[in-house]
Amino acid sequence: MKSQSKNNDLSARRKFFYRVGQGLGGMALSTLMGQGNLQAAPTGPRVVHFPPRAKNVIYLFMVGGPSNLDMYDYKPALARYEGQPLPTSLQRFQKFAQIKEKQPKILPTPWKFTQCGETGRYVSELIPHFRSIVDEVAMVQTVKTEETVHPFAEMLFNTGYREYGKPSIGAWVTYGLGSESQEFPAYIVLQSGSRLRAKGANFTNGFLPPTYQGVPFRDAADPVLNLSTPAGISEAHQRDVVHTIGQLNKIRDQQMGDPQIAARTSAYELAFRMQHATPELMSLTDESATTLSRYGADPTQPSFARNCLLARRLVERGVRFVQLFHGDWDHHANLAGSLPGICRQIDQGCAALILDLKERGLLDETLVIFAGEFGRTSVAQKQQSGQIGRDHHIEAFPVWLAGGGVRPGYTLGQTDELGVYATQDPVHVHDLHATILHLLGLDHKQLTYRFQGRDFRLTDVYGNVMKKLLA
């Protein structure tokens, strides 16, 4: 009995030290991963469902909902009906987020629109640089969503669901296509301006393996937390640590079969490679003064323009999905005072990105998307202070796309003369998602993942490809 008890104690001690060893490896990995935010590069590229039009995505997401009627959606009838109540026929199904008036009044834009390019599309004076790319852009005028509350509207646009815990579109794309980069994660997030209301839920892997998590790069000395080599640690020593922890995790993975273990091992190896690649990426020292001037980017200062330039550099390095978030476009008040400033923050960078990609031969294979979680109302939202703004509008608002197989200069859909409802070619967020996947060679109905007993997909049980939009 004593011998058996001694053997049991010895076995228990061995298990204890084994688990402690795994824990130490996990702690070291967690530190280098920045508390779990660093993903591994997925294997790939993988087999697509049909020949793709694009292989990379740059997704420009405007936090808060841009005021489309003051930027892209020219509606001269607003001036004719200024100050009049919105017709009952249009107001009946209108779902306002904050307007409490029974008869809100029509608000025209105070900014001038001019026709631009060969397409003759009307563009506001707020975004003069957009005129240079107007013929490269396909405009979808009639996007519809269901959610008027910011956090849930953000998630619907970025994950296809109005609830937390679902994979983002970037996670689905990298799950479907893998990565072509050995030095960077497949899915990278760049943020500027105000932050997202739903925070990391907009670029999460959800129930997909942790490999597909979006990785935020910060505007700081250390773009990725805890990536820099600690003082006094040599490269050879760090390589030994990576190798040893990898071996320990391999043993544990064989015992447990937990996909997070393999993902953490791969993430550790990726982090080691990123230590050399990330400083070179972020420095911008190899960019010409002409390029920096075109973007309006100061290499030493964080900005949306700088992030646009970084996005181009990332797709050049094989990063599959780059998502830029910029806010705040939530202009319930002081529209006239606030909107011009934020338009200036994004206009030059967007135009420079499209032109730069085209000149480098990258636009044909890179799909660029510009969207917000909803648009803004054609009626005024009056504040007690006397300031005027626009409320959230979910029935029909524009999203533009460029490159990656879309028809340049094309406009899909029409709205009524006040810009309230779609009168032709309504497009749901699910349709937009289905089309993005289609351009990447992925069938949105076949790109599925089994979770909790059912097959999930980005578009749930909805979505139709916008075939008119395809080149």
pLDDT digits (tens, 9 = 90+) for 309-364: 999 999 999 999 999 999 999 999 999 999 999 999 999 999 999 999 999 999 99
At residue 328, the pLDDT reads 96
Q: How many CB atoms lie within 10 A of CB 36?
A: 13
Provide the angle, in degrees to the nearest 10, between the axes of the packed helices 235-256 and 2-32.
120
Q: Give the confidence band of 12 by pLDDT, cuts at 50, 70, 90.
A: low
For residue 54, pLDDT beyond 90: yes
Average pLDDT, the chain: 88
Check residue 253 and give its pLDDT. Answer: 77
Looking at 84-98, 131-145, 162-176, 199-213, which range is the least confident one?
84-98
| Residue 212 dihedral angles phi and psi, to the nearest 5° | -100, 10
- How many CA atoms does the CB half-sphere of 413 hold within 13 Å? 27
- For the CA atoms of 110, 382, 72, 413, the dihedral, rounded to the nearest 10 degrees, stands at -130
How would you classify the pairing of strands 422-424 and 414-415?
antiparallel
Q: Given this model, what pLDDT does residue 43 score?
A: 54
Under the banding of pLDDT at 50, 70 and 90, the label for residue 221 is: low
Share of the chain above pLDDT 70, in %: 87
pLDDT recorded at residue 36: 41
Better-scored residue on pLDDT, 454 or 45: 454
Q: Is the pLDDT of residue 282 over 60?
A: yes
Averaged pLDDT, 128-145: 98
Q: pLDDT class for 46, splitting at 50, 70, 90?
A: confident
Where do the domains of the chain lie? 22-469
- Distance, in Å, from the CA atom of 351 to the CA atom of 391, rounded to the nearest integer, reads 27
Question: Token pair of 350, please?
Answer: 């967007």
Give yes or no for a contact between 458 and 207, defined as CB atoms under 8 angstroms apart.
Answer: no
Q: Where are the alpha helices (DSSP H) in 284-415?
A: 289-295, 304-316, 335-359
Read off the pLDDT band of 211 (50, 70, 90): confident
Mean pLDDT of 256-272: 73
Contact 313, 281 (CB under 8 A): yes
CATH class entry, domain 22-469 = alpha beta
CA angle 185, 370, 340 (to 5 degrees): 120
Please provide the DSSP assignment of 339-376 as one string: HHHHHHHHHHHHHHHHHHHHHTT-GGGEEEEEEES-EE
pLDDT digits (tens, 9 = 90+) for 427-459: 999 999 999 999 999 999 999 999 999 999 999
- Confidence band of 220 (pLDDT split at 50, 70, 90): low
H/E stretch holding 43 reads none
| Residue 28: predicted pLDDT | 39
Q: Is the pLDDT of residue 41 over 80?
A: no
Residue 3 has pLDDT above 70, yes or no: no
Question: CA 327 → CA 96, 337, 394, 399, 430, distances in Å?
Answer: 21, 16, 18, 16, 23
On the question of pLDDT at 229 being above 70, the answer is no
When comparing pLDDT for 303 and 275, which is higher?
303
Q: Which position has the token pair 């993988």?
A: 46
Q: Answer whether 367's CB lies under 8 Å from 56's CB.
A: yes
Binned at pLDDT 50, 70 and 90, residue 87 comes out as: confident
Work out the average pLDDT over 376-394: 94
**Residue 312 burial (C-beta neighbours within 10 Å; 0-12, 13-18, 19+):** buried
The confidence score (pLDDT) of residue 86 equals 87
**Residue 386 φ/ψ region, left for φ over 0, alpha for ψ in the -120 to 50 degree band, beta for the rest:** left
> Using 50, 70 and 90 to split pLDDT, how confident is the model at 270?
confident
The pLDDT of residue 20 is 40
pTM strictly above 0.75: yes
The backbone torsions φ and ψ at residue 420, rounded to the nearest 5 degrees and listed phi first, read -95, -50
Q: Which residues pair with 415 in a beta bridge?
A: 422
Angle at which helices 169-177 and 429-439 pack, to 10 degrees? 30
Question: φ and ψ at 170, to 5 degrees?
Answer: -65, -35
Look at residue 24 and tell me whether its pLDDT is greater than 90: no
Q: Does the pLDDT value for residue 420 go beyond 80?
A: yes
- pLDDT the model gives residue 249: 80
pLDDT of residue 458: 98
Q: Is the pLDDT of residue 25 over 70?
A: no
Q: Average pLDDT, stretch 33-51? A: 60
DSSP SS3 for 245:
helix
Tokens of 383: 């504040």
Q: Torsion-angle region of residue 441: left (phi > 0), alpha (psi -120 to 50) or beta?
A: left
Using CA atoms, how far apart are residues 373 and 276, in angstroms rounded to an integer? Answer: 36
Average pLDDT, integer, range 196-225: 88
**Measured distance CA(240)–CA(33) in Å, rounded:** 17
